[in-house]
């Protein structure tokens, strides 16, 4: 995929949060592999995924942290919010409880990230229209949101890309300070940092899940 280790100008850190079973890992898999993983096992702790995207002609590497949704893991996963440039907050449109819990996820996201972190709401499983339990309109009132389906792939790309665009915009207009310790964005030099490294094999950029 990538020709060299620094074939991109920025790295953005994302976290994906939300109740267990809402489809966080499936979204990540759909985004990185363009496939639906129906039998996705529970995330125990955290999983990682990465993909390079392009925003306004700039290559950006997304470093995505997919967290376990079960309540008892939160004591641990809370420490992963730090330094995230984007937070994808996911609920399942067929299970109202996952929607009701958003406020608590949002509280964590607000408290544990920096003020410029872009928080993006996702209603997943839009393919299950018949089982819908949360209407589009009410979710819209809660926040600007995006309904998508990790199964069909509908809108998944947009969720990740729109978040990146917003972060990039924040960099451009100066509201996101790249030098701040925990901005969640790293600027990468165009040339490899270590020219003495004789290892020619490009580092693997594939999905880590």
Ligand X SMILES: Nc1nc2c(ncn2[C@@H]2O[C@H](COP(=O)(O)OP(=O)(O)OP(=O)(O)O)[C@@H](O)[C@H]2O)c(=O)[nH]1
CA distance linking residue 36 with residue 152, whole number of Å: 7
Q: How far is the CB of 20 from another protein (least distance, A)?
A: 6
When binding is defined by CB under 6 A, the residue of 49, 69, 83, 86 that contacts ligand X is: 69
Distance separating alpha carbons of residues 179 and 105, to the nearest angstrom: 27
Q: Does position 124 bind Mg ion by CB under 5 A?
A: no
127 contributes a contact to ligand X by CB under 6 A: yes
Q: Which of residues 11-30 bind ligand X (CB under 6 A)?
A: 20-26
Residues linked to residue 87 through DSSP beta bridges, in sequence order: 15, 119
* Residue 48 touching another protein (CB under 8 A): yes
138 part of the interface to another protein, by CB under 8 A? no
Of 120, 32, 42, the residue nearest 84 (C-alpha): 120
* Alpha-carbon gap, residue 165 to 120, rounded angstroms: 12
Residue 183 burial class via C-beta count within 10 angstroms: exposed 0-12, middle 13-18, buried 19 and up: buried
Is 44 among the residues that bind another protein (CB under 8 A)? yes
**Token match 């996702």: residue?**
122
Q: Is 43 in the site for Mg ion (CB under 5 A)?
A: yes
Contact by Cβ (8 Å): 12, 63: yes
Check binding of 128 to another protein (CB under 8 A): no
Token pair in block for residue 190: 């165009």
Q: Which stretch binds ligand X (CB under 6 A): 56-64, 123-131, 161-169, 191-199?
A: 123-131
Contact indicator for 13, 46 with CB cutoff of 8 Å = no
**Residue 124 binding ligand X, by CB under 6 A:** yes
Taking CB within 5 to 8 Å according to partner kind, which of Mg ion, ligand X, another protein, none is near residue 23? ligand X
Cα-Cα end-to-end distance for the chain: 17
The residue behind tokens 């947009």 is: 158
Residue 68 makes contact with ligand X by CB under 6 A: yes
Judged by the rule CB under 6 A, the positions of this chain that interact with ligand X are 20-26, 38, 40, 42-43, 68-70, 124-125, 127-128, 149-151
Judged by the rule CB under 8 A, the positions of this chain that interact with another protein are 5, 20-21, 39-42, 44-46, 48, 50, 63, 68, 70-73, 75-76, 79, 95, 97, 193-194, 197, 199, 201, 203-204, 208
Judged by the rule CB under 5 A, the positions of this chain that interact with Mg ion are 24-25, 43
């Amino acid at each position: 995929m990538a020709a060299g280790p620094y074939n991109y100008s920025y790295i953005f850190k994302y976290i994906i949060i939300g109740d267990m079973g809402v489809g966080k890992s499936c979204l990540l898999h759909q985004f990185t592999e363009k496939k639906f993983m129906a039998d996705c096992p529970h995330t125990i702790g955290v999983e990682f995924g990465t993909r390079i995207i392009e925003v306004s002609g700039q290559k950006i590497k997304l470093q995505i942290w997919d967290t376990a949704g079960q309540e008892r893991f939160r004591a641990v996963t809370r420490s992963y919010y730090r330094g995230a440039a984007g937070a994808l907050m996911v609920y399942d449109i067929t299970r109202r409880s996952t929607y009701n819990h958003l406020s608590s996820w949002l509280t964590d996201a607000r408290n544990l990230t920096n003020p410029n972190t872009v928080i993006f709401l996702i209603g997943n499983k839009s393919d299950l229209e018949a089982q819908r339990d949360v209407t589009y309109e009410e979710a819209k009132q809660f926040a600007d949101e995006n309904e998508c389906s990790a199964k069909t792939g509908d809108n998944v790309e947009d969720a990740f890309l729109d978040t990146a665009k917003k972060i990039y915009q924040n960099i451009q207009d100066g509201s996101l300070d790249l030098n701040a310790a925990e901005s969640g964005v790293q600027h990468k030099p165009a040339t490899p940092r270590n020219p003495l490294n004789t290892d020619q094999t490009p580092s693997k950029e594939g999905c880590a899940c």
